[in-house]
Structure 1
């Protein structure tokens, strides 16, 4: 029994950490929410235990040992809840005000549009043009970042548990959220509003970098896709156009400029594909191209299962080389 309890304790503690844990905050927003959560949880527990203890005492104690019944009703049933709830309400109003206060001069604006079922990401620096990406967000640590979120189809919910609270993504409306990430690392985000069959496979990574590293990353992302360095990669690029992939996808530096689907200019440098569904490598890219509808049914990309194996591997290798 002791061994089982120890194992359960280890598993519970392990669940409190990780890149998608609201109990392991990496920004002030998430920490404020966590503090309020603990206040409500601990306070509610203490109140529950106290009320149950009084109830037991009232049942088992003799009447002469339980004097002042009216005082208990007035104090415990009226004064105590009014005072407690008022204090909690004032605290929560203050928290809500802090969470919705926007940075006066954000160093970076990230626009995120939710689609069924992927994320369109655009970076805007003060005085700079937009830079488009997908399904992965990179931000600098220690700098104020403003998120502007909306939806292209149904209501989604943008949630980075370790960095901030949830914010709705509503068609035709832009909602805004400011955060300052404090700790470099990789955090996981998730759509928190049921949005269809593949809602569970609509995730994204948030990569928090040191400011200098972020600046170098952003400059590298602005570069167009390089020319293929090997014959196999050239064949993969030609297959990309031969099969009409440019009808939905953009690859900067090539004639592919469509914005229907995710921007693939640097897809090989992302941690995952399919909105967090699979790690990025040649095998997963080839599998996604050939069997997108099998791997993630009802998504907007058809399965290209008509390619021969050599062509499929070449296209996947070219996409993986785009870093």
Structure 2
């Protein structure tokens, strides 16, 4: 029962997490070119469809009024008048519908062309995102060496520069959605889809998987940071560096627990013996705002709980519980928190 309640309550809790610091998550607050185009099309459709609906109600009211008004008139005169009014009304209505549909078709075509125009940007930064149940693997190309820089569940983008996101799926169909910056795009196993994003407004935002992908679909989110070009370049350079060697005995013990336990089988911490590829890269995990794909704030207590019993926090997760003594889990959590 508790597992079911956690799953059912997931979407509401995710909205609460976004409101408490995860960043805005709304397609009605565009912060990038692509989201702005889609928002403009949405508003146009709302006005056209809403106006058409109001006109339909007006015609309906007019027809009822005509019917009641003509009750006292002779049948032949009433029928003739109704026929003339009906012909004029249907003609007007057909014209309105054609104009409305033509307007929406033209606007959709223009928005589609505007979205496709970013594909010609040769200066776009390439980012590879792989969807897993239920987290996101994110890889950048090191501009200095060409090597891949891997992180997880936290996407950083430079402002005023197009990012070309290459979408892959590791297991089932997912859908990648950054509501404030662009539209949704499915992430399909065996297929590579490309999504162009051109952010304009600096800040923190929140992304989401928008396709049901299993038990914890509602808790498959990611934090998004849009930063000035200089800040982004500094962040990327810091992410490219291997983990520093700890100069504290407790942190050194935490590193030893990481390298000697089951964590090293699934996770990589560059600069240590941990080189697993099944789970997220933890080289700079301490610098991230959240863990468990945006579900939990990143602090020592949550790291400790996640290490010892992840299924209690996110039922169905593929991460197994680490068989560690509480004191070992504590020093490991301290070490992971320190990895910035």
Q: TM-score by structure 2 length? A: 0.86
Q: In structure 1, what is the equivalent of residue 256 of structure 2?
A: 238
Q: In structure 1, what is the equivalent of residue 336 of structure 2?
A: 319
5+ residue gaps, structure 1 = 1-13
Secondary structure of the equivalent of 2:277? coil
- Contact 2:291–2:298 (CA<8 Å) still a contact in 1? yes
Tell me the CA shift for residue 126 of structure 1.
5.7
- Contact 2:157–2:226 (CA<8 Å) still a contact in 1? yes
5+ residue gaps, structure 2 = 1-18, 71-77
Secondary structure of the equivalent of 1:224? coil
Tell me which protein shows more helix as a share of its residues: 2
Q: Determine if the alignment matches structure 1 residue 281 to structure 2 residue 299.
A: yes
Q: TM-score by structure 1 length? A: 0.90
Secondary structure of the equivalent of 1:52? helix
Q: Determine if the alignment matches structure 1 residue 113 to structure 2 residue 118.
A: no
Q: In structure 2, what is the equivalent of residue 79 of structure 1?
A: 95
Q: Which of 269, 273, 280 matches 1:255?
A: 273
Q: For residues 83-162 of structure 1, what are the structure 2 equivalents within 5 Å?
A: 83-101=99-117, 102-124=119-141, 128-162=146-180
Query: What is the alpha-carbon distance in structure 1 between the residues aligned to residue 143 and residue 55 of structure 2?
Result: 55
Q: Determine if the alignment matches structure 1 residue 296 to structure 2 residue 311.
A: no
Aligned residues: 305
Q: In structure 2, what is the equivalent of residue 31 of structure 1?
A: 36
109-118 vs 295-304, which deviates more? 295-304
Deviations 1:191-239 (CA, angstroms, capped at 9, x unpaired): 0000000001100011011111111111111110011121111111111
Deviations 1:54-106 (CA, angstroms, capped at 9, x unpaired): 21121023347865321211231x32212211221121022123223414313
Secondary structure of the equivalent of 2:309? helix
Higher relative contact order (CA 8 A, sep 6+): 2
Q: In structure 1, what is the equivalent of residue 15 of structure 2?
A: none
Q: In structure 2, what is the equivalent of residue 56 of structure 1?
A: 61
Query: What is the alpha-carbon distance in structure 2 between the residues aligned to residue 143 and residue 179 of structure 1?
Result: 8
Deviations 1:134-159 (CA, angstroms, capped at 9, x unpaired): 11100100111111101011000000
Give the ranges of 4+ consecutive aligned residues of structure 1 lying more than 4 Å apart after TM superposition.
Answer: 63-67
Tell me the CA shift for residue 39 of structure 1.
1.0
The structure with more radius of gyration: 2
- Contact 1:108–1:126 (CA<8 Å) still a contact in 2? no
Tell me the CA shift for residue 315 of structure 1.
0.1
Query: What is the alpha-carbon distance in structure 2 between the residues aligned to residue 146 and residue 103 of structure 1?
Result: 11
Q: In structure 2, what is the equivalent of residue 9 of structure 1?
A: none
Secondary structure of the equivalent of 1:200? helix
Query: What is the alpha-carbon distance in structure 2 between the residues aligned to residue 273 and residue 120 of structure 1?
Result: 13
**Two-structure CA RMSD over aligned residues (Å):** 1.7
